[in-house]
Every structure is written in structure tokens, then in C-alpha cells.
Amino acid sequence: MPPKNKNYDKKIFRLVRILNYLDKGKKVSTRELAEEFNVTPRTIQRDLELLNMAGFPIVSEGGRHFFVEGFALRKTMLSSEEASLLLLLYEIVDELGESFKRPFQSILRKTVYNSSLSPFYVKMPQGIKLSEDFPYLNNLEEAVTECRKIAISYLNHNRQVKTYVLRPLKILFFDGFWYLLALKEGTNWMLKFRLEKIKDVRLLDDYFEMPDNLNLMLDESVNIWFGEKQDKKVVLKVEKEVAEFFIKRRYFPYQKIIKRNKDGSLIVESRVSQYMEVLPTILGWIPFVTVIDPLNLKQEVKEIIMKYLQKM
């Protein structure tokens, strides 16, 4: 039997409050919850990960988290307190091993999402489990929390191990992968390092100050390609067939509808630090999204399409 954990009562209190907020349709941020409960943002991230693993349909957008539209705990026939207790039991069972974890996880998912009763199905992005695959996570968390510089050994794309001295800013999760966001020491270069490729972390006896615009930059990000200076303007045309999606959801960083045409199409503007912030989305919506400006991005999209057609 797992030892009694004196922090369980605090965790279940947080989970109850978070579920209450979400159930009322509120959009919560990691930073605001961390301040309310007097814990680190990483602790709140773990709480949200637990909710995700249990099958609760949480959407994360623009740095805020909320239940998918139409979902409510009453449809699961659970109260916030009951759901929180199930989550806590799930975490305890996790310590007993896979033979106990999988059956309980199945029970939990059936309780949260009884497919015969609920009309909802939400596919959450699968990714590397944070707690199991990164031996240097505690060092990274300490460095970010204390604004402490670090030296890391990193396996780059050429399969070479290189050493970097960094100012670690945040631990990020995008599209199923975990990253360390950091500034390279002596520069203002913002870099992202895949956590599973970090081979060593050494804490240094030197400290730094966090950038003032960090949270705003993260809130406006839509994928891992974001950067500090959004000095490139992109103008796109969205055809009427899909205009409704772009009215209701932000697909691009700093997305702004600057014109609604009489035929139902939209002219959308975005500001980016590099074109990879918008390229995957543009390509994913072809032929309903086209580039108006800049011309070099328009040409890049054409070249990508031509290369693809040549392979068919």
C-alpha cells in the first residue's frame, strides 16, 4: 500500500477548485492558478496534465485552459469533489504499476466519458510523459523557478553533443513534445531544446532576470516556432467556405480580421517572427487560404506545392 502523502489534501483542494472554474465555463491560466494556490506554475501544469490523462476535455489556447464547448460535469453524473477524488485515486494506483493502472484508467475514462451517455469525444494530443522520460527535469524546474543560469549538453540534429550556457525561461509543451525555452548566454537568441535530447544539466552560480514580455509572447503563440520579435507582417485571404472557423478561433499569432468582403471571405493579418509560425496552417487549409503579402512567403508556398506535385 502506498504511503500516505500529506500533500494529497492540498492537491484535491486544487483539483476541486480547478474543476469548479472549468465547469462554470471559465478560462483559467497557469500563472493565475499558481498565484491563487501559492504553488509553482509547474505544479498547476501537473494538475492539468492529470485532468488530461483522465480524459477531461480541456482545450488550451492562447495560454488559457477551458472545457470544450458544451461539456459539463453534470453530464458525467459527477460532482467536482467526486471527480477530484477519482483523479487522486488514479494517481495512487499509478504507483502500483501498469497491471493496476490500466484497469483503473479504463474505469475512470468510462466514468468521465460514458460513450452511451455523452455525445462528446475529444482527441487530446499524445506526447512524451514528462515525469518518466527526463532525468534532468528537477534541475530544469529549479533553474527556471530561481532564474538561475545552466550549462547543458544537447544532442543536436547532426547527432553531435554540444554544450550551451543558457538562461532558462520556461518548460513548454507543444504538439506532443516537451521543450526548454532559453536564451543563449551572451546573446538575445531565443532557443528551444527538446527535453529528451538534453543529456546533462549543470546549475551555475549565476542568476538573471526574466524578460518582461515573456508571458505575452507565450500567450500569443500558436506553435513552437514563435519568437521574441514579431517583425514580419503576413496578410492572408480566407475564403467564405471556411471563414466561420477563422472568425471563431485564432489560428495565427496576433491574428486580426482587417476586412470582411461582401462575398463572405476575410482578409486576415498576422505578425510573426518567422514564416514557419504560419506555413503549416496555410498548407493545411489549402485551397481556402491564400497568401496576399509578403511576396516571398507567397513564393515559398508555391514552391512547396510544386515540389509536392512533382512527387505524385
8-state DSSP, 238:
E
- Tell me what pLDDT residue 199 has: 93
Residue 253 has pLDDT above 70, yes or no: yes
Residue 87 has pLDDT above 60, yes or no: yes
Spatial contact of 67 and 22, defined as CB atoms under 8 Å apart? yes
Mean pLDDT within 62-88: 74
- Tell me what pLDDT residue 112 has: 63
Mean pLDDT within 92-100: 65
| 247 or 173, which is more confident | 247
- Tell me what pLDDT residue 1 has: 36
Question: What is the per-residue pLDDT across 120-178, written as a single tens digit (0 to 9) for each?
Answer: 555 556 665 665 568 888 899 889 989 999 999 999 888 899 999 999 999 888 887 88
Closest CA to 225 of 181, 266, 255: 181
Q: How far apart are CA 200 and CA 212, in angstroms?
A: 28
Q: What domains does the chain contain, in order, with CATH numbers?
A: 8-112 (1.10.10.10), 130-211 (2.30.30.520), 217-310 (no CATH)
- Tell me what pLDDT residue 208 has: 93
Q: How far apart are CA 87 and CA 21, in angstroms?
A: 17
- Tell me what pLDDT residue 270 has: 96
% pLDDT > 70, the chain: 82
- Tell me what pLDDT residue 17 has: 86
Q: What is the mean pLDDT of the chain?
A: 84
Mean pLDDT within 279-297: 96
β-pairing, 198-207 vs 232-238, is: unpaired
- Tell me what pLDDT residue 58 has: 84
Sorting pLDDT into bands at 50, 70 and 90, what band is 13?
A: confident
Q: How far apart are CA 253 and CA 270, in angstroms?
A: 6
Residue 63's region, left for phi above 0, alpha for psi from -120 to 50, else beta, is left
- Tell me what pLDDT residue 275 has: 95
Mean pLDDT within 283-300: 96
Residue 287 has pLDDT above 90, yes or no: yes
| 134 or 76, which is more confident | 134
| 193 or 129, which is more confident | 193
**Spatial CB neighbours of 270, under 8 Å, sequence gap ≥ 6:** 233, 234, 236, 252, 253, 254, 255, 256, 277, 278
Distance of CA 218 to the CA centre of its chain: 10
**Spatial CB neighbours of 14, under 8 Å, sequence gap ≥ 6:** 33, 37, 39, 44, 47
CA torsion 277-131-205-183 (nearest 10°) is 0
Cell numbers found for residue 192: 528551444
Question: What is the per-residue pLDDT across 198-222, written as a single tens digit (0 to 9) for each?
Answer: 999 999 999 999 888 888 888 888 8
Question: What is the per-residue pLDDT across 16-63, written as a single tens digit (0 to 9) for each?
Answer: 888 888 888 888 888 889 889 888 888 888 888 888 777 778 888 767
Q: How far apart are CA 33 and CA 18, in angstroms?
A: 8
- Tell me what pLDDT residue 195 has: 92
Rounded to 5 degrees, φ, ψ at 101 are -65, -45
259 has which bridge partners?
Answer: 267
**Spatial CB neighbours of 306, under 8 Å, sequence gap ≥ 6:** none
